[in-house]
Amino acid sequence: MKKLLFLPLILSLVAFKNDRPAYILFNSKGKDIKYEKMLRELEEADIVLFGEYHNDPICHWLQHELTKDLFATKDSLLVLGAEMFERDNQLLLDEYLNKRFNDKKFEADARLWNNYKTDYKPLVEFARDNQLPFIATNIPRRYASMVYAGGFEALEDLSETAKTYFAAFPIPYDPELNCYQSMMGGSPMGGGHGNDNLPKAQAIKDATMAESILANWTKGKLFLHYNGAYHSDNFESIVWYLNHYQPELTIKTISVTYFQHPDSISEEDFSKADFLIAIPENMTKTY
């Protein structure tokens, strides 16, 4: 029985050795699956959180491929959004999507990540070409920094306009979640940073992204969100907030891991998302 259980993994190892694939897809039970099967399941979701490694080219290529394929079936019911864009840049992003000015103007005025042109611009351009909404979901960095320095209360006396750029108060917060415990050294996953406000700064990002997603989603639509894997791994972080704000959603998550050989991938890796992209550890990086 044990031999039969591990037969698919053995076959994957043989195929990897012979073919050198750029990635292997697994479900949460550790079974390797076809991209088409994952796609069919994602098409039925309300919200898909694509957890990436920010500098991995396979993640970014698959994000673009998945976006195209979901658009082929969902059409105007597809909504895109990303951690990499902050709420106070939404007007600028909307104006660019509506072709009010060219990409040079947009890239000069927006606060874009250094790898925007190689890794995120193709997604924004796809939205622009196909008239899809693209939502800037994240809290502005300056406000997250204020939380890191002074806790949630540091934001309480900001203007009402400023408060539209992050999740509404009071901020739900469970410091016992592993994703926040690990930042303080309360889990084997984390080394600990000694600042009680560090996980709060992470939490307000998660809460703001979840709130932004729900504000731009209605029943029948599919919201595809691009974020760092830590923001959705283990069905915590953004997932926890989505479920807190609006229970009974169908949420699917994608994560990523690096490996030397397929048989070295741990059960912990398989279980951290609905779908796992396993990538050779010597894959080139975008930066």
Reported as a single tens digit per residue, the pLDDT across 32-42 is 999 999 999 99
| pLDDT > 70: percent of the chain | 90
pLDDT tens string 56-67? 999 999 999 999
Q: What value does the mean pLDDT of the chain take?
A: 92
Residue 223 reports pLDDT greater than 70: yes
Instruction: Look at 125-139, 180-194, 257-271 and tell me which has the smallest mean pLDDT.
Output: 180-194
Asked if the model's pLDDT at residue 210 lies above 80, the reply is: yes
Q: What is the mean pLDDT of residues 93-115?
A: 96
* Per-residue model confidence (pLDDT) at position 7: 53
In a domain, 116, yes or no: no
pLDDT recorded at residue 17: 57
Structure tokens at 18: 């012979």
pLDDT band for 9, please (50, 70, 90 cuts): low
100 contacts: CB under 8 Å, gap ≥ 6? none
CB 227 within 8 A of CB 82: yes
On whether residue 16 sits in a domain, the answer given is: no
Residue 15 lies in a domain: no
Query: How do strand 275-280 and strand 24-27 relate by DSSP bridges?
Result: antiparallel
Instruction: Say if 17 falls within a structural domain.
Output: no
- Helices 35-43 and 57-74 cross at an angle (nearest 10°) of 50
- In this predicted structure, the answer to whether residue 127 has a pLDDT above a threshold of 70 is yes
**CA–CA distance, 67 with 39 (Å, rounded to integer):** 10
So what's the pLDDT on residue 20? Answer: 79
Give residue 52's pLDDT: 98
Q: Is 275 inside any structural domain? A: yes
* 191 confidence band (pLDDT: 50, 70, 90): very low
The pLDDT score that the predictor gives to residue 190 is: 41
Confidence (pTM): 0.91
Kindly state whether residue 285 falls inside one of the protein's structural domains: no
Average pLDDT rounded to a whole number, residues 112-119: 97
- Look at residues 186, 191, 204 and name the one whose alpha carbon lies nearest to residue 150: 204
Residue 9 lies in a domain: no
End-to-end Cα distance, the chain = 45
Within a domain: 20: no
Q: Is the pLDDT of residue 194 over 70?
A: no
Which residues lie below 8 Å from residue 39, measured CB to CB, with a gap of 6+?
66, 69, 70
Q: What CATH number does residue 36 fall under? A: 3.40.50.11550
Full domain range(s) for residue 203 = 25-110+122-280
Q: Which residues contact 281 (CB under 8 A, 6 or more apart)?
A: 258, 259, 260
Q: Is the pLDDT of residue 18 over 90?
A: no
Residue keyed to tokens 């069905």: 235
Question: How many domains is the chain built from?
Answer: 1
